[in-house]
Amino acid sequence: MTAMSSPQDKYNAVWLIFFILGLGTLLPWNFFMTATMYFTSRLKDPPNELSANQTANGTLDGGDTRNVLESKFNNVMTLCAMVPLLVFTCLNSFIHQRIPQKLRISGSLAVILVVFLLTALLVKVDAAPLPFFALTMIKIIFINSFGAVLQGSLFGLAGILPASYTTPIMSGQGLAGTFAAFSMICALASGSALRDSAFGYFITACFVILIAIIAYLALPRMEFFRYYMESNGSRSSADDENRMDLLKQGTVLFIHLAVRINESETFTCPAEKAEKCAVVSLTEDDGKAGVSVLTIFRKIWVMALSVCFIFTVTIGTFPAVTVDVKSTVASGGSWETYFIPVSCFLLFNVMDWAGRSLTAVCMWPGKDSRWLPALVVARLVFVPLFMLCNVQPRYYLPVLFSHDAWYIAFMVLFSFSNGYLASLCMCFGPKKVSQHEAETAGAVMAFFLSLGLALGAAFSFAFRAII
């Protein structure tokens, strides 16, 4: 089979399926974060206990009237999300060769679906704050653990296909954030009760996950997809089969195994035996039953560290710093109400989605260009730029960019560059290795993406404290 004989992706069906699967990986978690106000409202003390707690904590004089569960919800939620995400993405990089791809993807989607069905049902059930808090954190751990396996498996699967098929996953994830942000604004505008809005979020997430499961089950029926899966399987075992054939035919008198990382040793066949002499040179990763993760990392480390750095900068700044920016244009009214939902959340997700989607038609700079890591590092400038916007409260740094226009301009560039550069790195990573290593390379890239998310969450506390 050659590239010339490869079938076409009819009606872009495979591309669309990967887009739906990308949407399914992040839409549930985005809806979960959007419903934060619902969760914290369920953690409030009953009226008869609230007054006593406030008196005991000395909060009746205008201090923080939230109880411990409310005040710590966001921090604990971030911890319960990022740690399992990082751990299970790392595990997926090593276990994906031992657990079938179909089980990893369909199983993860099924577990997430069950968790969200349970979450939707619990909206209608009253529960004490502490049990509700504990159950919510357990659900967050499950969602992000299986979400990590799902995401890593999808990027590994896309690595087997042409580079452009990582784009729909990234684009689908971008749409997930946009859809969740738009839903939040609609709920805010409608004045719906928190429980009604939350129930709508969770049922919608269940519906999307169900569509993703159906789409994944239809994937093996696509001739285009089968071609690359069969091609990957045949290429990964072709060398071993050829060597076994030679041995069975008895034509190999001399086999010199050169297991080297960079280059094979030179073997000179005796002239008198030249017609019956075969030389087999094995690189390090060919000489093992499984592909070495460390060997693959040596080939893709620039892309892996780049995507890690991108999300470290992004999550370190958004939303920990950006969400506290106050409008200087509006003094009351609707713009003040919608300033952060629109200028922060909706604008970020729309431009991030646009950046991710652009890689479907433009992939500059190339995978070997020095411009790509240079642009990635240049994004570090957004950290001080947002810090010098009108972030309130602030204690140390001055405000240099007080007008809303500065904040909006920074957000457009910040979010677009995040989506575009991250998508480029995720597309290029699996293409810097041989075909049979592509799935492992995709899983490694997903791990470094998750590592960037975790590091960003850790740095966000420091970035906010500096202000």
Provide the mean pLDDT of the chain: 79
**Given a cut of 70, is residue 90 above it in pLDDT?**
yes
Q: Residue 271's pLDDT is what?
A: 52
Q: Residue 100's pLDDT is what?
A: 87
Least confident among 105-109, 193-197, 353-357: 193-197
Domain count, the chain: 1
Q: What is the pTM of this model?
A: 0.71
Q: Please indicate whether residue 59 or residue 413 has the higher confidence score (pLDDT).
A: 413
DSSP 431: G
Q: Residue 54's pLDDT is what?
A: 47
Q: Residue 430's pLDDT is what?
A: 85
**Given a cut of 70, is residue 61 above it in pLDDT?**
no
Considering the domain boundaries, does residue 261 fall inside one?
no
**Given a cut of 50, is residue 251 above it in pLDDT?**
no
Least confident among 177-186, 242-251, 256-265, 433-442: 256-265
**Given a cut of 70, is residue 202 above it in pLDDT?**
yes
Task: Count CB neighbours of 14 within 10 A.
Answer: 21
Q: Residue 65's pLDDT is what?
A: 53
Considering the domain boundaries, does residue 243 fall inside one?
no
Considering the domain boundaries, does residue 164 fall inside one?
yes
Q: Residue 248's pLDDT is what?
A: 43
- Assign 3-class secondary structure to 242-294: HHHHHHHHCCCCCCCCCCECCCCCCCCCCHHHHHHCCCCCCECCCCCCCCCHH
Show the domain range for 194.
3-56+65-230+288-466
Q: pLDDT, tens digit, for every residue of 150-186?
A: 988 898 888 888 878 888 888 888 888 888 888 878 8
**Given a cut of 90, is residue 212 above it in pLDDT?**
yes
DSSP 7: P
Q: Please indicate whether residue 398 or residue 191 has the higher confidence score (pLDDT).
A: 398
Q: pLDDT, tens digit, for every residue of 358-375?
A: 988 888 888 888 999 999
Q: Residue 39's pLDDT is what?
A: 85
**CB burial of residue 161 (10 Å; 0-12, 13-18, 19+):** buried
Considering the domain boundaries, does residue 259 fall inside one?
no
Q: Residue 16's pLDDT is what?
A: 95
Least confident among 142-151, 235-244, 446-455: 235-244
CB contact at 8 A, 125 and 199: no
**Given a cut of 50, is residue 84 above it in pLDDT?**
yes
Strand partners, 325: 391
**Given a cut of 90, is residue 32 above it in pLDDT?**
no
Q: What is the DSSP string of 216-240?
A: HHHGGG-HHHHHHHHHHHHHHHHHH
Q: Residue 138's pLDDT is what?
A: 93
Strand partners, 260: 283
Considering the domain boundaries, does residue 174 fall inside one?
yes
Long-range Cβ pairs for the range 47-53 (8 Å, 24+): none
Considering the domain boundaries, does residue 268 fall inside one?
no
Considering the domain boundaries, does residue 292 fall inside one?
yes
Q: Residue 48's pLDDT is what?
A: 55
Least confident among 174-183, 399-408, 414-423: 174-183
Q: Residue 260's pLDDT is what?
A: 34
Considering the domain boundaries, does residue 18 fall inside one?
yes
* Spatial distance between the Cα atoms of 350 and 146, rounded to a whole number of angstroms: 26
Helices (H), 326-401: 334-340, 347-358, 371-378, 382-387
Longest dimension (CA), the chain: 99
The CATH number covering residue 389 comes to: 1.20.1250.20
